[in-house]
Homo-oligomer: A and B are copies of this chain.
Amino acid sequence: MTDSAPAESAPKRSVFYLSDRTGITSETLGATLLTQFDEDSFKQSTLPFVNTVEKARSAVEYINHTARQSGLKPIVFSTTIDEDIRKILRDAEALFMDLFDRFVPAMEDELAVKATNRVGRAHGIPDQQVYDTRIDAMNFALKFDDGMSYDGYEKAQVILIAPSRCGKTPACVYMAMQHGIFAANYPLTEEDLESTQLPKQLRPFKEKLYGLSIDPERLHNIRSERRRGSSYAALPQVTFELRAAESLYKRHKIPFTTTTNMSIEEIATMIMQEKGMRRRSF
């Protein structure tokens, strides 16, 4: 707090993601909003499962403690529903950003009904069917990891094809976990890439195929992490594989995307959009 204090020791403003459940909604909400400000000037923490009046009181104590320590008013993103708990939270010495306060009144007006104040999804009836779908979809995705299986393509909603290490498995696992999608994958081998034909295991499922490609330099780096100096990782080899893969996609009119600068979420979203797949949110 003195003029001589070096810039790097400037106190950061605390941001709390507070929830009666996991905190995922308030983290998502808050993190998106913080992108609009200088993200490095915040210290973020999540306080999940604040679902009793006692826990709310100790959360407030903790928030106030950091406020006094840093001399900066914390920001609290809250998705807590219970009104008794919120009343306590609102008294924190913080900028209190409440998801429900800010959106529910407009929705009530439009829908001409009152919100129910029900605690969020996972606290209602336990949905074992949802859990089972996600686990089944995830086990399905993992079955294809590293080309261990070509079985079950009939059951797949989408089959990702690409040379090794272009991001097939992460995209499949993500779609399984977040959207319950049954996504298979098929690694294009050198033999596949030397042919103008589709690999025969894939021919009956052409409508389900989606290709991935990536920048050769990037694939070279990824493969080098695994096997440095191998011919598998060599730049000419990956360049050949990627060119051949893209020709194959084009020749057989298989939609594809280049994943170089994309996050796992963006790759998955691209695939689901292209394939017109229903996104379920859990």
Contacts and interface: CB of A to CB of B under 8 A. Distances in A.
Given A75-B110, A173-B138, A100 B24 contact: no
A131 interface: yes
A192 interface: no
A121 interface: yes
A5 interface: no
A255 interface: no
A251 interface: no
Interface string A4-23: 00000000010000000111
A157 interface: no
B36 A28 contact: no
A83 to B, nearest CB: 12
Nearest to A21: B266
A272 to B, nearest CB: 9
Given A23-B269, A33-B107, A135-B170, 13 more contacts: A22-B269, A24-B265, A28-B29, A29-B103, A36-B107, A36-B117, A37-B113, A49-B273, A128-B218, A132-B225, A142-B142, A173-B173, A173-B177
Q: Which 10 A-B pairs have the closest CB atoms?
A: A126-B261, A36-B115, A22-B269, A95-B110, A28-B28, A25-B32, A102-B102, A22-B265, A122-B263, A48-B269
Interface of A: 13, 21-25, 27-29, 31-33, 35-38, 46, 48-49, 73, 75, 79, 81, 95, 97, 99-100, 102-104, 106-107, 110-111, 113, 115-118, 120-122, 126-128, 130-132, 134-135, 138, 142, 145, 167, 169-170, 173-174, 177, 218, 222, 225, 260-266, 268-270, 273, 279, 281-282
